[in-house]
Amino acid sequence: MQINGIHHVTAIAGPARRNLDFYSRVLGLRLVKKTVNFDDPTTWHLYFGDAEGNPGTILTFFPWDHVAPGRLGVGETEVTAFRIPAAALGYWTHRLVAHGVVHDVPQKRFGETVLAFRDPDGMRLALVAVPGSEDEPAWDNGEVPVEAAIRGFHGVTLLVDKAEPTAAILADVFGFAEIAREGGVVRMQAAGTAHGGIVDLRAAGGFLPARMGAGSVHHVAFRAADDAEQARMVKTLVEKFGLRPTEQRDRNYFRSVYFREPGGVLFEIATDAPGFAIDEAPESLGSALKLPARYEKRRGEIEAVLPALA
């Protein structure tokens, strides 16, 4: 059976130490993997998620000490939204104020209460109060009470020229269906998927194109249960949509294929297997610098140049 929804979201950040502090301490996510950018091993790749690093909870960053701010535009993810228990909204409003986090007053969207805020790089985030999510597992690290903790992704909002071409890919390849429209936004949902089951498409024809930088989402990855399902998705992209996805790349914790969807957003298809416990015990996820085999012989050199995290 196809497992649908968002697998992970990857964004660009400023200094790694500030990024780690905000996501692990202020938002209370678990650092589930501390590794390097596989294409540039002298820079970090930090993975945050729930206690086990389950698909649908993973937000990853490429932090750079000196990176210009991004500019939001068409062909980009506008908002990355997390789920929180409905009763935790007051807690989070106070917490954002107490930590000096830039935020809006809660608003109703698609019948849900949404608390929008920014991370230290200006990345657009939101907490969505989801009744019933209090029963979902959460990471308890002592920073945020477990009854208020973030329960993985709710979804993302993509800023695209026109909604329809992106909606067709989400429907025909990733198992989403349109469930509502509100104020120029088309809401797509992956049935039966709690975490990362929502993609909102905001049609913003004529708006400037995005410029990647600090605070920008680099790509959104969707789930494939295994290699065979990923291959079927690629086949549909090629045969039905005339797209040319990349070859499969081994990312150690999942296997990935990338393509730019018609709205300009970089999409990835990531396998659920093997997951983050492949090179670290579940209880010690994120505690040691993990390197892919090809960089292991350069560990000393890499450790010497990576910016300090603490």
Contact indicator for 182, 109 with CB cutoff of 8 Å: yes
Q: How many residues does the chain have?
A: 310
76/134 with CB nearer Zn ion: 76
Q: Distance between CA 153 and CA 11 in Å, rounded?
A: 14
In angstroms, the Cα distances linking 302 to 144, 195, 290, 298 are 33, 34, 11, 6
DSSP state of 53: -
Reduce the DSSP state of residue 180 to 3 states and report it. Answer: strand
The residue among 176, 47, 182, 162 whose CA lies nearest residue 108 is 182
Q: Does 50 bind Zn ion (CB under 5 A)?
A: no
What is the bridge-based pairing of β-strands 266-271 and 198-203? unpaired
Shortest distance in whole angstroms from residue 102 CB to Zn ion: 26
CB under 5 A: which stretch of 9-17, 82-90, 189-197, 237-245 binds Zn ion?
A: 9-17
Q: Does 10 bind Zn ion (CB under 5 A)?
A: yes
130/199 with CB nearer Zn ion: 199
**x/- letters, 246..275, toward Zn ion (CB under 5 A):** ----------------------x-------
Q: Does 193 bind Zn ion (CB under 5 A)?
A: no
Q: Which residues contact 123 (CB under 8 A, 6 or more apart)?
A: 11, 13, 80, 215, 216, 217
Shortest distance in whole angstroms from residue 32 CB to Zn ion: 14
CB under 5 A: which stretch of 4-12, 89-97, 117-125, 168-176 binds Zn ion?
A: 4-12
Binders of Zn ion in range 211-230 (CB under 5 A): 221
3/203 with CB nearer Zn ion: 3
Shortest distance in whole angstroms from residue 160 CB to Zn ion: 19
Shortest distance in whole angstroms from residue 60 CB to Zn ion: 7
Question: Binding residues for Zn ion, how many (CB under 5 A)?
Answer: 3
Shortest distance in whole angstroms from residue 221 CB to Zn ion: 4
Q: How many CA atoms lie within 13 A of 221 on its CB side?
A: 25
Q: Distance between CA 7 and CA 175 in Å, rounded?
A: 13
94/249 with CB nearer Zn ion: 249
CA dihedral for 240, 246, 248, 251, sign (positive or negative) = negative
Binding site for Zn ion (CB under 5 A): 10, 221, 268
